[in-house]
Amino acid sequence: MTAFSLDIALFAAKLGMVFFVILTLAAYLVFAERKILAWVQDRKGPNRVGPFGLLQPLADLIKLLTKEDFVPAAADRWLFYLAPAMAAIPAILIFAVIPFGAPLTIAGRQLPLVVADLNVGLLFFLALSSIAVYGVAIGGWASNSKYSLLGGIRGLAQLISYELSMGLSLVPVVMLSRSFSLTDIVAAQASMPFIVYQPLAFIIFLISITAECKRIPFDLPEAEGELVAGFHSEYSGMRFGLFFVGEYINIIVLGGLATTFFLGGWHGPLLPPVIWFSLKTLAFAFFFIWMRGTLPRLRYDQLMHLGWKLLTPLALVNILATGWWLVLTR
């Protein structure tokens, strides 16, 4: 009985730690983004609250919590309330299948550093990322505003289109590792990360996840220049905050997935595994922010052409080539 309760306690500790780290990291990613963008644009960025502006996320949180919780007239009240949660929950749930370190040994028992090692982990990620569409679409629709509706429809079309190339770019990874489990995929990259064998799949995956988390140059659902703020135009206070934090959780989670699928996960020399995983994931987060400071937004038809006419066929050809290569070499 004590062994069982020890297992439960270890699991609860792991879960609590994951939640705490991801949510804190998401809040500080907002801060990092503002600082890095300021640096790109030769400004100072937030530097008033605390040393170097480090308490800015806390100040933002207090501001968002004390704002009026506004619901537009004739909005679909319940769906309007639910939509931010529908956007943020799938993002944080995906992290459940990502292995973020080598298994630890505590009190004589192995503690795998992954919340749930599903044998369909990769499909779990694809399923949840396709569910995350509803938050954007329903949020845009329930606001009863034309800008929000347009943002929601754009988000819907964009996410369906890029899900396809994202899923197809992961097929070679499954072919190489012969497993859907993310732990097995990381184990298969112990000697060589898959980016070496699959540079094309990596690039397709990177572009697709940028579109999946609606970052510049793919931020059409919330294009400030045309749609005010797109699907979350009508949101205020912490409901807006949940959409916002959900986006940054998404960046962390998708960066972690790119690390797991192509950069060898937590494998790396000298440093401890958890540090390697965090470094690689944060490098992706930095890349997303850097891209925001550099690239202009795509036009809507360019977005659709890139997804359907370039990335998806390329991913299919890549799958075929990987199949030939595997048959000829093994």
Q: How far is the CB of 239 from other proteins (least distance, A)?
A: 18
Chain centroid, CA 58 distance in Å: 22
Q: How far is the CB of 192 from other proteins (least distance, A)?
A: 23
Q: How far is the CB of 176 from other proteins (least distance, A)?
A: 15
Residues 6+ apart with CB under 8 A from 128: 90, 93, 94
Q: How far is the CB of 76 from other proteins (least distance, A)?
A: 8
Return d(Cα 120, Cα 323) in angstroms, integer.
Answer: 21
Contact status: 120 vs other proteins (CB under 8 A): yes
Q: How far is the CB of 140 from other proteins (least distance, A)?
A: 8
Residues contacting other proteins: total by CB under 8 A? 27
Question: Among 28, 134, 308, 325, which residue sits at the site for other proteins (rule: CB under 8 A)?
Answer: 134
Residues 6+ apart with CB under 8 A from 54: 31
Partners of 105 in beta bridges: 110
Which residue, 5 or 41, is less far from other proteins as judged by CB? 5
Which residue, 31 or 141, is less far from other proteins as judged by CB? 141
Which residue, 121 or 217, is less far from other proteins as judged by CB? 121
Which residue, 64 or 175, is less far from other proteins as judged by CB? 175
Return d(Cα 196, Cα 264) in angstroms, integer.
Answer: 10
Return d(Cα 140, Cα 146) in angstroms, integer.
Answer: 9
Give the number of other Cβ atoms within 10 Å of residue 328's Cβ: 7
Peptide bond connecting 269 to the previous residue in cis, omega within 30 degrees of 0: no
Contact status: 131 vs other proteins (CB under 8 A): yes
Which residue, 29 or 128, is less far from other proteins as judged by CB? 128
**Scanning residues 176 to 205, which ones bind other proteins (CB under 8 A)?**
178, 180
Contact status: 141 vs other proteins (CB under 8 A): yes
Q: How far is the CB of 17 from other proteins (least distance, A)?
A: 25
Give the 3-state secondary structure of residue 192.
Answer: coil
Tokens standing for residue 183: 């732990």
Contact status: 118 vs other proteins (CB under 8 A): yes
Stretch (H or E) spanning 276: helix 273-294
Contact characters 143-162, other proteins, x per CB under 8 A: ------x--xx--xx--x--
Contact status: 127 vs other proteins (CB under 8 A): yes
Segment near other proteins (CB under 8 A), from 126-134, 185-193, 246-254, 320-328?
Answer: 126-134
The per-residue DSSP string of 53-68 comes to: GTTHHHHHHHHHHHS-
Residues 6+ apart with CB under 8 A from 140: 148, 149, 150, 151, 152, 153, 155, 221, 230, 231
Return d(Cα 284, Cα 250) in angstroms, integer.
Answer: 12
Which residue, 18 or 142, is less far from other proteins as judged by CB? 142
**Scanning residues 57 to 116, which ones bind other proteins (CB under 8 A)?**
76, 79
Helix axes 146-177, 133-142, angle to 10 degrees: 180
Binding site for other proteins (CB under 8 A): 76, 79, 118-120, 123-124, 126-128, 130-131, 133-134, 137-138, 140-141, 149, 152-153, 156-157, 160, 163, 178, 180
